[in-house]
Amino acid sequence: MANQHGDFVWYELMTSDSNAAQEFYSGLLGWSYKDSGQDQVDYRVFSAGESQIGGQLQLTPPMVEHGARPAWVGYIRVDNVPTALEKARAAGATVLMEGQEVPGVGPFAMLHDPEGAFFYIIDDQSGEDSHAFSTHEPKVGHCAWNELMAGDKDAAMKFYGDQFGWAVADSMDMGPMGRYDMLKCGEDRDFMFGGLMTRPPAMPVSMWTFYFRVPEIDAAVAYVKENGGEILNGPIEVPGGDHCINAMDPQGAMFSVIGSKSPSE
């Protein structure tokens, strides 16, 4: 399926220890890694089978001095970066980095939305479609869901809807936690790509979370615990029968995985 303006097309891990992070995630998600070939930066591309999923950036001392910390950030495709930046600024977003370009791909920029959730935009001119997010079929190692926890959910929906053409496709009542909105990119799309919910009071800032698929959730829980990670929440069942966890990797980046329960359970 062809990518369009507003689609998530790439996922990036910023980490303090690239070798350790590579070992952790390759064991958890089966990713294979290769060097990107960029000069003066340790940037590794990871793939699930033949599909490139994202990149891993080694944080440098200057990056850390300027506030960078281990974290996952998603890339959203746009038709034109300067136009998208102008529109995002006018809507209250803060542009953190611009004027950069991925060799052979196209220009990109880093922003945070009006509530402080980080994301990238990129004008992918490579001519190749991204399969990092699995649109219809469950695929191990691919992203299965993109979730935003926002302080003002309605304001967040207006911001992202105006910027990227996102629409609420369905909603679910979560009781005291409020309404959970499920999103699609454009009214004509036949799949949902993510969700939007009000962040819990214990969460100090709005943030994006990306759920990568594992074969079996209990095995993933055991792996995280045995390899220096920390389970923050779950496993919990989600609509459709899968289970998910929110966790922290050994370097302190929050991540999430989703998978099935063992048939014997």
Sequence length of the chain is: 265
Range 11-20 average pLDDT: 97
Task: Give me the pLDDT at residue 113, please.
Answer: 96
The domains of the chain are located at 8-122, 143-260
Helix (H, G, I), strand (E, B) or coil at 163: helix
Tens of pLDDT along 39-86?
A: 788 999 999 999 999 999 999 989 888 888 999 999 999 999 999 999
Model confidence at 174: pLDDT above 50: yes
**CATH 3.10.180.10 at 8-122, yes or no:** yes
Give the Cα separation of 29 and 31 in Å (integer). Answer: 6
Radius of gyration of the chain from Cα atoms? 18
Angle at 112 between CA 213 and CA 210, to 5 degrees: 5
Check pLDDT > 90 for residue 176: no
Percent of the chain with pLDDT over 70: 98
pLDDT at residue number 102: 86
Name the average pLDDT for the chain: 93
Domain 143-260, classified CATH 3.40.50.2300, yes or no: no
Confidence of residue 166 (pLDDT cuts 50, 70, 90): very high
Q: Which tens digit of pLDDT belongs to each residue from 196-230?
A: 999 988 888 899 999 999 999 999 999 999 999 99
Percent of the chain at pLDDT > 90 equals 78
Task: Report d(CA 184, CA 177) in Å as an integer.
Answer: 22
Lowest mean pLDDT among 115-124, 184-193, 241-250: 184-193
The reported pLDDT for the residue numbered 104 is 84
**Average of pLDDT values for 244-255?**
96
The Cα 138–Cα 144 span in angstroms is 7
Measured distance CA(205)–CA(190) in Å, rounded = 31
Alpha-carbon 208 to chain mean position: 6
228 token code pair: 């220096």
- pLDDT, residue 265, reads 46
Residue 264 has pLDDT above 70, yes or no: no
Least confident among 19-23, 98-102, 105-109, 253-257: 98-102
| 263 pLDDT higher than 70 | no
Q: Exposed (0-12), middle (13-18) or buried (19+): which is 54, by Cβ within 10 Å?
A: buried
